[in-house]
Amino acid sequence: MSYTEYKLRLTKIADISYTAALLSWDQETYMPEKGAGFRAQQIATLSALAHGQSTSAELGDILNSLNKSGNELSEKEKRNVARSLKDYTKQKKYSTEFVERLSRTASECFQAWQKAKKENNFSLFAPLLETMVDLKKQEAELLGYEAHPYNALLDQYEPGATVAALDILFKDVREQMVDFVKQIAAVPKPDDGFMYRHYPKEKQWNHGLDLLKQMHYDFEAGRQDISIHPFTTSFNALDVRVTTKILEDNLKSMIWSCIHEGGHGLYEQGLPSGEYGLPSGEAISLGIHESQSRLWENNVGRSLPYWKANYKNLQSLYPENLGKVSLEQFYRAMNRVEPSFIRIEADELTYHFHILVRYDVEKKLIGGELKVKELPEYWNACYKEYLGVNVPSDDKGVLQDIHWSHGSFGYFPTYSLGSFYAAQFFHRASLEIKGLENQIEQGNLLPLLEWLREKIHRHGKFYSAEELCTQVTGEKLNFKYFMDYAKNKYSTIYNLKKEAV
């Protein structure tokens, strides 16, 4: 059993999986509406094929044999085999019947969620969500776990993440951020009305492409299109696609979704294309992926240096809207902090309270401490407690996100992990890249990208998230970097006294 044979098999599986990804990309961008039925069937067939090949006895033999005879392999090869064997063992735990049930429930649950959200009626969603939660509990049992069943689900998105560690992390979030946000809430908010004037679609589209070009997103190895919800997908490191959404009455939507997805896209473009289909050619985890999008979106894209480079151009694009708005006003407006009840519209601070609520709810649902029927009341109480807002209705509350209808329990925490990793990475980059701030002020983003390529992208999944973080920053994930970043930035914006912070 040779490593070459292993590579060949993983390459074929990748061909199938990435092709399924193209089916999905097309579904979200260009597919005519009547094509939906057959498309769902085509995606299901491709997914089943990939699953079949990922769990074949032949692959199992190759992996076990290579894993034993490991001393002939390089360190990278050993790690690839070990990770593939772990994936294989996990995949083998699913019966075809269970996979089918999960997939059928997910599509029924999604239909119910859509209807429930549209009609603002949680009871239409509740029965199917209950079935879904039951299935996810079964999935946790079937996968196995230590300490808490939710750990099995977390591990799907963020290998190594545990309730024990996240409890500590979100305790820090609560203890350190609640007061800080209260201080901000006590002072007048910057005006951001000019963000909601009329911004023509075509101009925004061209501007978005320029933003990506400035980030050195490679348009010979990628493209941007329009979709209802922005996303990034990849068919290999040389064909990475981002999408954006343009609202003519909201400048913020396109700019920061574009930079955000661009960050995801740069990570995918930076993965080694020679390792196609192997763990060493893949992203580490959703948390690390999100660290790349958040770093560009927030640490770069919502920073003063970035807009020192770019604001004049933006003003010249929309003189009627921004001609009289100063850079300072624009910077303060984009960083307006205000508790709200919709996650995807939240600022970069209160955003984490939204995640905290979802983490708490998921953990309790999977742990059996919370019942589906108790969800709306519990949700609203949490929003009152952590964000101080009264949720006006379930469609703007517990029904707002698509994730649970898909069965994605354990996904939300990776959004916060991403922001926290981003702050820690960016802090390190600032120490290691000479004059980084100055370069950003000049609109030169290449040194930062090169640093990310060197330190993070090129390694694929060679390191675990924790190993990578230690390797790059000298320590494990530490929430302090995010809080330092937040306090520095927002104390200045809101003129908070340093001693009060």
- From 5, 28, 39, 327, residue interacting with its own copies (rule: CB under 8 A): 39
Binding-residue total with its own copies (CB under 8 A): 37
Candidate segments 111-119, 158-166, 217-225, 429-437, binder of its own copies by CB under 8 A:
217-225
Residue 218 interacting with its own copies (CB under 8 A): yes
What residues contact residue 104 under an 8 Å CB cut-off, 6+ apart?
A: none
Residue 1 interacting with its own copies (CB under 8 A): no
Which of 276, 267, 278 has the alpha carbon at shortest distance from 240?
267
- From 202, 220, 320, 499, residue interacting with its own copies (rule: CB under 8 A): 220
- From 4, 33, 274, 495, residue interacting with its own copies (rule: CB under 8 A): 33
Q: Which is nearer to its own copies, 44 or 82 (CB)?
A: 44
Residues 296-335 that bind its own copies (CB under 8 A): none
- From 122, 276, 409, 426, residue interacting with its own copies (rule: CB under 8 A): 276
Q: Which is nearer to its own copies, 282 or 290 (CB)?
A: 282
Beta pairing partners, 239? 236
- Of the residues 139, 158, 261, 297, only one is catalytic, namely 261
Residue 434 interacting with its own copies (CB under 8 A): no
What residues contact residue 37 under an 8 Å CB cut-off, 6+ apart?
A: none
Residues 226-265 that bind its own copies (CB under 8 A): 235-236, 238-239
Q: Are 177 and 349 in contact (CB under 8 A)?
A: yes
- From 2, 38, 210, 374, residue interacting with its own copies (rule: CB under 8 A): 38
Q: What is the DSSP letter of 197?
A: S
Q: How far is the CB of 320 from its own copies (least distance, A)?
A: 24
Candidate segments 27-35, 66-74, 139-147, 150-158, binder of its own copies by CB under 8 A:
27-35
Residue 501 interacting with its own copies (CB under 8 A): no
Q: Which is nearer to its own copies, 100 or 328 (CB)?
A: 100
How far CA 471 is from CA of 20, 117, 342, in Å, comes to 34, 44, 36
To which residue do tokens 């390190």 refer?
428
- From 7, 216, 223, 480, residue interacting with its own copies (rule: CB under 8 A): 223
* Chain-centre distance for alpha carbon 25: 17
d(CA 458, CA 476): 20
What residues contact residue 224 under an 8 Å CB cut-off, 6+ apart?
A: 208, 209, 212, 241, 242, 243, 244, 258, 261
Residue 102 interacting with its own copies (CB under 8 A): no
- From 35, 144, 323, 435, residue interacting with its own copies (rule: CB under 8 A): 35
Residue 273 interacting with its own copies (CB under 8 A): yes
Q: Which is nearer to its own copies, 38 or 196 (CB)?
A: 38
- Catalytic-residue membership of 282: no
Secondary structure (3-state) at 221: coil
Residue 73 interacting with its own copies (CB under 8 A): no
Candidate segments 8-16, 111-119, 162-170, 363-371, binder of its own copies by CB under 8 A:
8-16
How far CA 228 is from CA of 79, 244, 257, 288, 341, in Å, comes to 38, 8, 12, 24, 21
Per-residue three-class SS string for 277-310 = CCHHHCCCCHHHHHHHHHHHHHHHCCCHHHHHHH
Q: Which is nearer to its own copies, 35 or 435 (CB)?
A: 35
To which residue do tokens 């343009």 refer?
246
Residue 46 interacting with its own copies (CB under 8 A): yes
Residue 23 interacting with its own copies (CB under 8 A): yes
Q: Which is nearer to its own copies, 33 or 97 (CB)?
A: 33
d(CA 278, CA 273): 10
Residue 12 interacting with its own copies (CB under 8 A): yes
Q: Are 478 and 424 in contact (CB under 8 A)?
A: yes
- From 1, 7, 22, 87, residue interacting with its own copies (rule: CB under 8 A): 22
Cβ neighbours of 112 (radius 10 Å): 19
Residue 19 interacting with its own copies (CB under 8 A): yes
Candidate segments 160-168, 218-226, 347-355, 407-415, binder of its own copies by CB under 8 A:
218-226
Strand 222-226, strand 239-244: pairing: parallel
Residue 49 interacting with its own copies (CB under 8 A): yes
Q: Which is nearer to its own copies, 49 or 496 (CB)?
A: 49
* Chain-centre distance for alpha carbon 258: 14
Residue 75 interacting with its own copies (CB under 8 A): no
**What tokens were used for 5?**
């044979």
Q: H-type helices in 186-303, by residue range?
A: 201-214, 251-270, 286-294
d(CA 492, CA 97): 57
What residues contact residue 18 under an 8 Å CB cut-off, 6+ apart?
A: 234, 235, 236
Q: Are 416 and 166 in contact (CB under 8 A)?
A: no
d(CA 237, CA 215): 17
Residues making contact with its own copies (CB under 8 A): 11-12, 15-16, 18-20, 22-23, 26, 30-35, 37-39, 41-42, 45-46, 49, 218-223, 225, 235-236, 238-239, 273, 276
Catalytic residues: 261
